Structure 1
Amino acid sequence: MSRPVKSGPVSVRAHWFVLIAVLFALGVALAVQGYMHHLAGIGDDSVPSSTSAGSVPDAVSGGGPVVDSRGGAVRTVTPPDHTLALTFDDGPDPAWTPQILDVLRKHHVRATFFVVGSAAIDNPDLMRRIIADGHEIGVHTLTHTDLGTAPSWRRDLEVQGAQEAIAGITGHATSLLRPPYSSGNDAINDSTWSAMRTSADEGYITVLSTVDSEDWRRPGATAIEQNLALSGPQGQVLLMHDGGGDREQTVAALDSALSRFAGQGYRVTSVGDAIGIDSMREASAPEQMTGTAFVRGIQLSDFVVTAISWGLVAAGLVTLVRAFLVVGFAARHSRATRRLQTLSRGRRRMDVPVRPEITEPVSVIVPAYNEAVGIEAAVRSIVASTHPVEIIVVDDGSTDGTAGIVEALGLPGVTVIRKENGGKPSALNAGLDAASHDLVVMVDGDTVFEPDTVRALIQPFADPRVGAISGNTKVANRGGILGAWQHIEYVVGFNLDRRLFDVAECMPTVPGAIGAFRREALLRVGGVSDDTLAEDTDLTMSLCRDGWRVVYQDDARAWTEAPATLGALWRQRYRWCYGTLQAMWKHRGAVVQRGAAGKLGRRGLGYLLVLQVLLPLFAPVVDVFAVYGLIFLDPLRIAALWLVFLVVQMLMATYAFRLDKERLGPLWTLPLQQFVYRQLMYLVVIQSVVTALAGVHLGWHRMERYGSLRVPPAAEGQA
């Protein structure tokens, strides 16, 4: 394989730091989202079973529902007689809080809303309406977490986070706190009391309840109203809910209860008003700035996760559509090929004229740069072809004796051209200048042909519209898991796609390992260009834009060496991907052209952009989101989704292997491909895209040779 004379490879490292930073930021956003919405949650508000309460002072367990232990001294307060402090937990809720506010306005009643920080951030307008309507706000933690069982760091985060949410949205700070899952004073246990004392050190007054409507059970509006029935003049703290579930019964019961309380002479008001304190104040400028930043950060994380969720849906749909498309087009291509073969045989038996078989000799050009390890096998395999060929080996300044090895073989019909190193395109053009025939086959120096490969490859030239033909490249060194992965990729990824491109008339690449061309077509596009590192893709796109049909011949097989190490694979795919991006950019004008060029632009380039650029760029996000799902969502559902896509891939791979008449054994490695090979491929795309955007001129990366190629047995006998 030739090496172009270009600037050496430039090390591009900064983008890896950018990628790591982006993934870290994404991980933080997902962690925040998971914590806020999935690690805890608003649901059953029943009180946990009580444990030891030995450290709870009698003044608290037997005192009033408003507990103030700030400064170390414990004081409790009960609303005065005929005064009811009305409280609502777990909101705000976009469906039920507005209805409750309407009922309160109807009865000219103020209440205290103990809000959950995550719900407040989701419904900022409701928070502002609560304040505007003259109601009071208290802290009900950030995610409705049981403070009694939470570690100290989480207690601080839950209380302070909710306070920052309130300050950032409303511009106010509150001194009232109600721990989730709390009830009356007699239900306080040691862990809850510890949390209450910690909160008191931060300036909070804990508000419990004396009358629980138990509306969280949803027993019916009548039952809720009965739970709120009072038997004496004592002041009470009433517990109801405006969030955490369906509160239709709460709304109905509240309206009736407020009418009854008014008739009984009770004054219904907020906690602060009931006990004579001003529980809310204007937040200081630093508090508002911190709160606003906190809220904006949570909202940003929500937006990111929502965008990613839609992106995942789109990526999943594209992947499924691609699977159905390639299988459908491959089936159509296979049926057309079989129909043509059957028709051809039938016409011959019936002595009916058919499209003539291509028998004219072919010039085979082999560009070679330091191919001493495999050049003999490559040349011998081509010499053994059942079709007449001339072989032109162009030694592009090799330093390992490649040309001498070929000359020493003394094989008939083989010509060796020695030239200074000028790059693979220049070597191919030198071979084209020396070629004697109108049909030209180009093959890499690390590839061997089967005896019938050339004959099978050139048969589509019977159609005068065909200017180039892609053969079927096979991995020769497919042993080991890395070889098996590349074998699968060649059979499933490359060959299925080529069948689709053939039917859709938008073939973007005739691979350097095996391709046939009309000499006329090559000369019309100016030969092989050195504008890109993917000269085969660039050439194919040029032919398509010139109006030539490019087709795929699946029974023309060539065997090539694949990289045997991850490092070698990286270098090879980096060059391929970077060169393909160069070719796509060079031929971007095809998108707005008509005819064959338009098919390449809108179909071929569009397919490459979505499937080989955008999806791989999005792939790291998919992996990070999968980890997020396993931690914060339902692991079984995530595993089921992964299994569904794996099954789709397995079915597609099985079909592709059947089309190529390959054994199914290597497919056992397909699931493992998702954990190493896939990541390597998308990292290659990321580096290539960043390198291209940065305008870095990438040099040629020559692949290491292993000497694994062997001449097919039939070829050895004929050579």
Structure 2
Amino acid sequence: MKFSIVITTYNRLSFLKRAIDSALNQTVPCEVVVADDGSTDGTEQYVCSLGDRVTYHRNFENLGHAETMNAGVNRAKGEWIKPLDDDDYLAPNCIAEMERAIAVHPEAVICSCQAAQVNLQEEEISHTRSIGIGKTCYIPQADIHYGMLLELLPFGTPAQVAFRRDAFCQTRGWDSQLDTNCDDIDSWIEIARFGDAMFLNQCLAYRTIWPDAYNAKIPLKTRLKTNIIIKEKIYQYVSDRHRQDIPSLDSIRAYLHLHWSLVALKRRQIAQALQLFYPSCLSWVAWQLLVQAILARKGKKKSAVRFMPFEPEKV
């Protein structure tokens, strides 16, 4: 099994160096691909100075995050792809632990792990919750979209996730219309149609939370609109096993309005919070979904998703 770490970047050389170092310092050998969206800050010169340790791709013009990831995957040769944004980085044993888990369950097409959210000083702000029991578990394909719909599966951002290249190639790749705004989640939805999922209850990645992150600049209403589109897409893929247990799309949309109204309130955007709050606040099911989502994030919600534990160490 060969892994390729694909790092997307645009004018963030100081961050990029850290991301590349974390990829090159993995405890198992893997290919490192840097996909550059046309940086003008010396990125090309730096990456090329690393020689054949890194494969470098540069877009002929600025194409955006999604198309840059697609280009990086096209250059990669690994059976598995580990995407990574330039402002994030990996634990040294990230690829080794993923390889061990995948070797036990080769039907998997997507693998995720816990991640620490850190500030610019690399101090931990928060931590992805664990799921299931044990160090590693797999989720049958029939349960994945249900778990994603109700936010029981913290698949998360590129820093956390790896995917099988052949499954990715059966999709259209990352959608440029969702650029930096759920283009990754949209891809996980599509890839999960082709096999099982893995989740490692280990912190193997670090995601930087800072004001200049791309998604931090997206207006809340735009994020809400995209969030609704993503939920509607997941909804159609929920298996028959869970179809009778899911709420209506109208209830899910109302829940998302409540969620983003709380985000607006936290940011002291009172007028926008009130706009998003009403009339969704009248939906009892939306309130139930909000409470369930909060409990799930804290690991206190009993799940109908089958988290199947196993011990890769015994292999």
In the superposition, the TM-score normalised over structure 1's length comes to: 0.32
Q: Distance between the aligned counterparts of 2:242 and 2:99, measured in 1?
A: 26
Change in Cα spacing, 1:522 to 1:528, as seen in structure 2 (3 Å) is: same
Structure 1 match to 2:169: 523
Query: For residues 56 and 76 of structure 2, what CA distance do their matches in structure 1 show?
Result: 12
257, 260, 266: which is aligned to 1:679? 266
Q: Is the 8 A contact 1:366 1:393 kept in 2?
A: yes
- 2:6/2:34 contact within 8 Å kept: yes
Partner of residue 53, structure 2: 413
Whichever residue aligns with residue 451 of structure 1, its letter is P
What is the distance in 1 between the residues matched to 2:93 and 2:190?
A: 28
CA–CA separation in structure 2 for the residues paired with 1:542 and 1:398: 30
**Secondary structure, counterpart of 1:436 in structure 2:** coil
Residue 388 (structure 1) aligned with residue 25 (structure 2): no
Larger Rg: 1 or 2? Answer: 1
1:383 and 1:440 mapped to 2: Cα distance? Answer: 15
Which deviations, in whole Å up to 9, do the C-alpha atoms of 1:78-112 show, x marking residues without a partner? xxxxxxxxxxxxxxxxxxxxxxxxxxxxxxxxxxx
| Aligned positions of 1:469-480 closer than 5 A | 469-477=111-119
Question: Paired residue for 2:239, among 595, 598, 620?
Answer: 595
Residue in 2 that maps onto 1:437: 78
The corresponding residue for 2:202 is 555
2:184 counterpart residue number: 536
C-alpha displacement of 1:561: 2.1
Change (3 A) 1:616 1:584: closer
Q: Counterpart of 1:443 in 2: which secondary structure?
A: strand
Please, which of 138, 156, 159 is the counterpart of residue 513 of structure 1? 159
RMSD of aligned Cα (Å): 4.0
- After superposition, residues 126-525 of structure 1 pair within 5 angstroms as 360-410=1-51, 412-419=52-59, 420-462=61-103, 463-477=105-119, 487-488=125-126, 491=127, 495-496=128-129, 505=144, 506-507=147-148, 509-525=155-171
- CA deviation after TM superposition for structure 1 residue 405, in Å: 1.6
Quote how far apart the aligned CAs of 1:588 are.
1.4
Contact preservation (8 Å) 2:2, 2:80:
yes
- 1:391, 1:519 → 2: CA distance? 15
Whole-angstrom distance in 2 between the partners of 1:684 and 1:472: 35
Q: CA deviation at 1:562?
A: 1.4
Shift of 1:615: 4.0
Q: In structure 1, what residue type is equivalent to 2:37?
A: D
**Secondary structure at 1:507 match in 2:** helix
Give the conservation status (yes or no) of the 8 Å contact 1:470–1:552: yes
Alpha-carbon distance, 1:450 to partner: 1.7
Superposed CA deviations along residues 252-273 of structure 1, whole A, max 9, x for unmatched, are xxxxxxxxxxxxxxxxxxxxxx
- The residue matched to 2:158 in structure 1 has which SS? coil
CA spacing shift, 1:606–1:421, aligned 2, 3 Å: same
Structure 1 position 614 matched with structure 2 position 254: no
Q: Secondary structure at the match of 1:531?
A: helix
Deviation at 1:390, TM superposition (A): 0.4
Closer, same or farther: CA 607–469 of 1 in aligned 2, 3 Å: farther
Q: Which residue of 2 aligns with 1:193?
A: none
| 1:553 aligned partner, one-letter code | L
1:496 Cα deviation from its structure 2 partner: 2.7
Query: 1:582 corresponds to which residue?
Result: 226
What secondary structure is seen at the aligned counterpart in 2 of 1:422? coil
Q: Tell me the CA shift for residue 607 of structure 1.
A: 9.8
8 Å CA contact retained: 1:577, 1:684: no
CA distance in 2, matches of 1:555, 1:362: 19
> Kindly tell me: are residues 613 and 454 of structure 1, through their superposed partners in 2, closer, same or farther at Cα, counting changes over 3 Å?
farther
Letter of the structure 2 residue corresponding to residue 528 of structure 1: W
Q: CA deviation at 1:449?
A: 1.5
SS in 2 for 1:370: coil
What are the superposed Cα offsets for residues 473-512 of structure 1, whole Å, 9 maximum, x if unpaired? 22332769xx76xx13xx2xxx238769976632364412
Q: Verify the 8 A CA contact 1:574 1:688 in the aligned structure 2.
A: no
Give 1 or 2: higher helix fraction.
Answer: 1
Displacement of 1:417 in angstroms is 0.8
Q: Identify if the C-alpha distance between structure 1 residues 439 and 569 changes in structure 2 by more than 3 Å, giving closer, same or farther.
A: closer
User: Relative to structure 1, is the Cα distance of residues 523 and 361 closer, same or farther in structure 2, using a 3 angstrom cutoff?
Assistant: same
How has the CA–CA distance of structure 1 residues 436 and 478 changed in structure 2, closer, same or farther, with 3 Å as cutoff? closer
Deviations 1:292-319 (A, max 9, x none): xxxxxxxxxxxxxxxxxxxxxxxxxxxx
- Residue type of the alignment partner of 2:129: L
**Does the 8 Å contact 1:368/1:394 carry over to 2?**
yes
Aligned to 2:297: none
Q: Distance in 2 between matches of 1:682 and 1:466?
A: 42
Q: For 1:557, give the aligned amino acid.
A: L
Alpha-carbon distance in 2 for matches of 1:602, 1:687: 27
Q: Deviations over 1:347-388 (max 9, x none)?
A: xxxxxxxxxxxxx22111011111111111111111110122
Structure ranking higher on relative contact order (CA contacts 8 Å, 6+ apart)? 2
Q: Structure 1 residues 678, 424: CA separation in 2 closer, same or farther (over 3 Å shift)? A: same
- What residue identity is the alignment partner of 1:517? F
Tell me the amino acid that sits aligned with residue 161 of structure 2. G
Identity rate of aligned residues, in percent? 19
The amino acid of 1:426's aligned partner reads: E
Q: How far apart, CA to CA, are the structure 2 residues paired with 1:409 and 1:571?
A: 30
TM-score (norm 2): 0.67
Hey, what's the Cα distance between the residues in 2 that align with 1:684 and 1:468?
A: 40
Q: Quick one: which amino acid aligns to residue 190 of structure 2?
A: S
Distance in 2 between the 1:573 and 1:471 partners?
26
Contact 1:453 1:555 in 2 (8 A): no
- Closer/same/farther in 2, CA of residues 520 and 686 from structure 1, 3 Å limit: farther
1:415, 1:439 → 2: CA distance?
Answer: 16
The verdict on how the C-alpha distance between 1:590 and 1:390 changes in structure 2, with shifts beyond 3 A counting, is closer
Contact 2:224 2:256 in 1 (8 A): no
Normalized per residue, the structure richer in strand is 2
d(CA) in 2 for partners of 1:498 and 1:576? 28
TM-superposed deviation, 1:427 = 0.9
Alpha-carbon distance change, 402 to 550 in structure 1, aligned in 2, over 3 angstroms: same
The CA deviation at 1:591 is 2.8
Asked if the contact 2:83/2:158 (under 8 Å) is kept, the reply is yes
1:95-138 alpha-carbon deviations (Å, 9 max, x no partner)? xxxxxxxxxxxxxxxxxxxxxxxxxxxxxxxxxxxxxxxxxxxx
